[in-house]
Amino acid sequence: METILILVIVGLVIYIIWPKKKRETSSQKSGSPLTAGEDSKTKNLTKTVYPSKNNFNLDLSTEEEDSGREYLEEYYDITGVHIPSRKDYILNHCEELDPVFLRKEPSNPVNPEAVAIYHYEQLIGYIPDIDLDDVHKYYDRISDASISEIEYDGDFLRVEINVEHEITRKKSKPKPSASTSNLNPEDFMRFKQNEIPSEYLKPKKEGGDPSSYFYGKKVCISGSLDNFPYRAELAKHLWDVGADVDTGVGKTCSILISGEGVGPSKLKQAKAGGVQIMYEPELMEKLNGFKSSFV
C-alpha cells in the first residue's frame, strides 16, 4: 500500500513539473519574447555590429590590428526627416548617440546614387545630394555612424549624424634626411615636426612681397602635398611673402590650399563660404619658382 502511495505522489509531481520545464525549454529554443521589464532598444543594441550591417570588410577584432589606422569624422544634416511617418518615429524612438546605418539605394527611382540612413531597420532619412560624392568615396571604409544631434522646436525637425571612416593614404615616400637638405640643422628639425610654428600663424607686421599672389590674403593649408613633405616650410614661405597663414577655414579665409586627405567637410565649408580652393599644380604656379628644400 505504501509503495502504491509513493508511486502516486511521484506521478503527481512529474505531472505538475514536466509541462513547465517543457515550456521553458521550448521558449529557450525558439527565442522568448521580451518581458515587460526588458528594454527592446537595449536588446537590439547588443546584437548590432556595424560593419556587417553594411557588408563592410573592416576587421575591428583586435586593438593591435586597429592601432595603425587613422579615422576622420564627418557630420551631416540628413534630409527627409519632415515626412510624417519618419518624423513621428524619430521623435518617439531615436535618441542622440543611437547607432545608425548607411545603405546605398541603386534602385532608388529618384536618385540611384542615394544613400539611406536607417535607425536599426527603420528608414529615417537620406544623405543630402550635395554630400553624396564624398560619402560614396569612403562608403566601404565607414567604421561607425550615430545620431549626433536632434533638434525639434515643435514644428521643424533637424537630425544630424556623425560618420566615422578610415583614411587611406598613399605609400609614403622616403623622408628626406638632413644630408639631402640644404637647410641648416635647426630649421630642418623644426620643419620635420610638420606642425606649423605659432609665429607663422600670425600676420607679419611689416615686410612681405606685394608682387606675390598670396600677399595680404588669409591662406589655409590642409592635407599632404607631394612638393612640400613638411607643411611648415610652405607656411614659412607664405608668411615671408605677407600671407596670413591659418590651419582652419574661417569666415575671413581667402584661399584653401588643398592637398591629399583634406576632409570633405572642410572642402564643403570652403565652397559654401566662397573660398578659393587651390590644388597643388596651381599652387606651384603661384609660388613663382619657390621649391621645397626637401625634394
CATH code 3.40.50.10190 region(s) in the chain: 178-286
Query: For the chain, how many residues are written?
Result: 295
> So what's the pLDDT on residue 207?
85
Which DSSP string corresponds to 227-293? Answer: TBSSHHHHHHHHHHHT-EEESS--TT--EEEE-BT--HHHHHHHHHTTPEEEEHHHHHHHTTT---T
Fold of 47-166: Alpha-Beta Plaits (3.30.70)
- Give 244's contacts (C-beta < 8 A, 6+ positions apart): 203, 216, 217, 218, 219
Grid cell 615636426 is found at 193
Residue in this structure with the C-alpha cell 540628413, named with its chain if needed:
78
pLDDT of residue 104: 94
Residues in CB range of 76: below 8 A, 6 or more apart: 127, 128, 131, 135, 160, 161, 163
Q: Which of 261, 264, 216, 214 is nearest to 234 (CA)?
A: 214
The pLDDT assigned to 280 comes to 92
Q: Is the separation of the CB atoms in 53 and 99 below 8 Å?
A: no
Cell of 199: 609665429
- At residue 253, the pLDDT reads 92
pLDDT per residue as tens, the chain (295 positions):
666 667 767 676 566 555 444 444 444 333 333 333 333 333 333 333 343 334 333 333 333 344 457 788 899 999 999 999 999 999 999 999 899 999 999 999 999 999 999 998 999 999 999 999 999 999 988 988 999 999 999 999 999 999 988 886 655 555 555 444 555 555 555 555 556 778 888 888 888 999 999 999 999 988 888 898 888 889 989 999 999 998 778 788 999 999 887 777 788 888 888 999 999 999 999 998 898 877 6
- At residue 196, the pLDDT reads 77
Alpha-carbon distance 191 to 229, whole Å? 9
CATH topology for 178-286?
Rossmann fold (3.40.50)
Q: What is the pLDDT of residue 267?
A: 84
pLDDT, residue 38, reads 34
The ranges of the chain annotated as CATH 3.30.70.2330 are: 47-166
pTM over 0.85, yes/no: no
- What per-residue confidence (pLDDT) applies to 225? 87
Q: Which residues contact 40 (CB under 8 A, 6 or more apart)?
A: 34
User: Within 13 A of 1's CA, how many CA atoms are on the CB side?
Assistant: 0
